[in-house]
Structure 1
């Protein structure tokens, strides 16, 4: 071999190393791209799951607030207003009409709570409505004890509110 000349095998080895480098680079890029797509897909799935949880929380919060307002109106009509407007043990037509509307709304909202609420929310709402109906019926039949009934009904609504707050993750900031 003459000096200054390169052996035939050197360009062949350099070519093979070059091809191997290109193939290895393509494999690494493909692996990184697949890994990036999987990571991106996982992030999208987590974001979608968070958005779903937030949407359900908002729905539950909306119906909880509406339900608590309806229960408060119903409690006021069934005890306070009933006591003030009754004549011969019967409430005024306006009170009965308001009570009917409020009871219908409460029934519709309870059905929605039973559909979208958590187990604890469903149970608490059902128990509260049962207690409210029983207490107000007993009070109206006896035509007395309206103040005690009002306190008990307000306490039942307050307990339900606290259950809703706990289940929906609503905390007081101090």
Structure 2
């Protein structure tokens, strides 16, 4: 009678022990799977965060570059309108270009965009370009020397602006004049 009882108790202890061991293994497996899933989720969140940062960087970079290009176009259009008005005035005719003041609004808009998105160096040269362009407006007189001075000052400011933009964008700033012959080529001629 003791033998069946001992066998029954041992069987019951074996079943309970097996169940406990199985539950423990299952809990470990579940924890490992949960940790892996958490790690995957963290990596996915990090990837999405990096992607958002990259997209925002591209967006602001595009907006900044667009502002640079628009400013150059607006200053060129403004100076061309000034030249047209000055040339027409020197001939005693009506100018064919639109009033230069219309271009000043566009220049101001572009400067505002660059003030928001540009680096401190770019903002400084932008201010110089805008001041030089406005200075050309005040210094142009039909057929006078002051006209060239104002336009030359605006051109130097534009060149400084372009050099700073190229530096910021990582574009080669050093460019040679196509009319210059390198010293090595001179010796070979």
TM-score bucket of the superposed structures, by smaller chain:
0.7 to 0.9
Deviation at 1:55, TM superposition (A): 0.7
8 A Cα contact 1:121 1:164, kept in partner: yes
Distance 1:170 1:140, change over 3 A: farther
Q: What is the root-mean-square deviation of aligned Cα atoms in Å? A: 3.0
SS of corresponding position for 1:86: helix
Q: Give structure 1 stretches of 5+ with no counterpart.
A: none
Aligned twin of 2:133: 132
8 A Cα contact 2:125 2:157, kept in partner: no
SS of corresponding position for 1:87: helix
- In structure 1, what is the Cα distance between the partners aligned to 2:132 and 2:152? 13
Q: Give structure 2 stretches of 5+ with no counterpart.
A: 173-189
TM-score (norm. length: structure 2) = 0.71
SS of corresponding position for 2:145: coil
Q: Which residue of 57, 61, 84 corresponds with 2:87?
A: 84
Paired residues for 1:11-160 under 5 Å:
11-78=15-82, 80-87=83-90, 92-95=94-97, 97-140=98-141, 143-160=144-161
Deviation at 1:83, TM superposition (A): 4.3
Deviation at 1:10, TM superposition (A): 4.4
Deviation at 1:71, TM superposition (A): 0.7
Aligned twin of 2:171: 171
Deviation at 1:48, TM superposition (A): 0.4
